[in-house]
């Protein structure tokens, strides 16, 4: 199995010299690499390679990418906890691990927990969310790493109240800021807001959103932003707030109304259903 994984690394790297030394793998083992019954062994070997100090970073990256492909299968993702791999995975988020590898690790977490309650429960036991929050809060951080960490956080807390509780306890609310002047980053933050709302709305959340001037920001996107992805996301969150009976102030309602009048001219480029639902806010 080790020979097969080394062959896979050499194949992806285009290392002809290494391929010549390793030789052609057994066809049955090759079949296992691409979905055969030994995927469990491949998962364990991939993480072992990522932790091996004698392996070059480029080969560790290939091993982690292979792992991420394997866990796109939900059964494999659920096996992460059974195999005791969650802690070795989150250990790779530490500062002494190269950013390129940490980006892949954040992607692994995101892939594993996305719409997967069992994997969300497995990740919860690691108490590693605070490490993801720390990465996402660091404004000097590698932007790809920061965005990947935000993706992972959003996927973890979506429809998972214990995850949101950890998010709150890990000072996750410090992430909810809208002054980055970076549309990609702001879109990630809005996805995070959407994930928070997936767990419902209470008076505490309402006060937090009001303190962060969420609705003011959403309305400003409608008024000023030509980024249709941000506009769509803003309309979606406005409509979700309305569905969850958020108590819009008169000022917030006015700002949303002004913004909707602007984006109605973009109706051929944005989600018309979210626009229609968002309009309900102005009819209170």
According to DSSP H, which parts of the chain are helical?
A: 2-13, 16-22, 27-33, 39-51, 57-70, 74-82, 86-90, 99-113, 117-124, 129-137, 143-157, 161-169, 183-197, 203-211, 214-224, 228-243, 250-263, 272-279
Convert the pLDDT of each residue in 137-182 to its tens digit. Answer: 986 778 899 999 999 999 999 999 999 999 999 999 999 988 767 8
What dotted CATH number matches 38-175? Answer: 1.25.10.10
Asked if 102 and 93 count as a contact pair (C-beta separation under 8 A), the reply is yes
Q: How far is C-alpha 213 from the geometric centre of its chain's CA atoms?
A: 23
Convert the pLDDT of each residue in 52-80 to its tens digit. Answer: 999 999 999 999 999 999 999 999 999 99
Contacts 24+ apart (CB under 8 A), 56-59: 57/98, 57/100, 57/101, 58/13, 59/9, 59/13
Q: How many CB atoms neighbour CB 118 within 10 A?
A: 16
Q: Give the residue carrying structure tokens 């309650």.
A: 117
Domain boundaries, the chain: 1-36, 38-175, 198-283
Q: What is the pLDDT of residue 201?
A: 96
d(CA 18, CA 28): 21
Q: How many CB atoms neighbour CB 67 within 10 A?
A: 26
- pLDDT tens-digit profile, the chain (284 residues): 565 566 666 666 666 676 566 666 555 555 555 555 488 999 999 999 999 999 999 999 999 999 999 999 999 999 999 999 999 999 999 999 999 999 999 999 999 999 999 999 999 999 999 999 999 998 677 889 999 999 999 999 999 999 999 999 999 999 998 876 788 889 999 999 999 999 999 999 999 999 999 999 999 999 886 788 899 999 999 999 999 999 999 999 999 999 998 888 776 677 788 888 888 888 76
Contacts 24+ apart (CB under 8 A), 202-209: 206/246, 206/247, 208/173, 208/176, 209/241, 209/246
Asked if 152 and 132 count as a contact pair (C-beta separation under 8 A), the reply is yes
């Amino acid at each position: 199995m080790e020979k097969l994984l080394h062959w896979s690394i050499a194949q992806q790297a285009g290392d002809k010299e290494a391929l010549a030394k390793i030789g052609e793998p057994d066809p049955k083992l090759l079949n296992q690499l691409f979905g055969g019954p030994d995927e469990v062994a491949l998962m364990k070997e991939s993480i072992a390679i990522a932790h091996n100090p004698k392996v070059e970073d480029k080969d560790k990256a290939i091993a982690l990418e292979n792992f991420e492909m394997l866990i796109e299968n939900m059964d494999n993702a659920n096996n992460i906890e059974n195999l005791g791999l969650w802690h070795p995975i989150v250990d790779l988020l530490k500062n002494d691990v190269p950013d390129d590898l940490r980006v892949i690790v954040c992607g692994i977490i995101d892939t594993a927990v996305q719409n997967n309650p069992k994997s969300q429960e497995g990740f919860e036991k690691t108490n590693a969310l605070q490490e993801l929050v720390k990465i996402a809060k660091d404004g000097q951080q590698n932007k790809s790493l920061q965005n990947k960490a935000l993706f992972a956080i959003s996927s973890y807390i979506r429809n998972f109240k214990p995850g949101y509780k950890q998010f709150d306890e890990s000072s996750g609310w410090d992430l909810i800021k809208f002054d980055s002047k970076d549309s990609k980053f702001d879109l990630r933050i809005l996805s995070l807001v959407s994930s928070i709302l997936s767990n419902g709305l209470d008076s505490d959340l309402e006060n937090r959103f009001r303190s962060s001037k969420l609705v003011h920001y959403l309305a400003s996107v409608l008024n000023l932003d030509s980024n249709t992805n941000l506009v769509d996301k803003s309309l979606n969150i406005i409509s979700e707030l309305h569905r969850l009976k958020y108590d819009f102030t008169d000022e917030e309602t006015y700002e949303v109304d002004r913004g909707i009048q602007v984006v109605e001219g973009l109706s051929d480029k944005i989600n018309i259903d979210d626009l229609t639902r968002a309009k309900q806010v102005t009819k209170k």
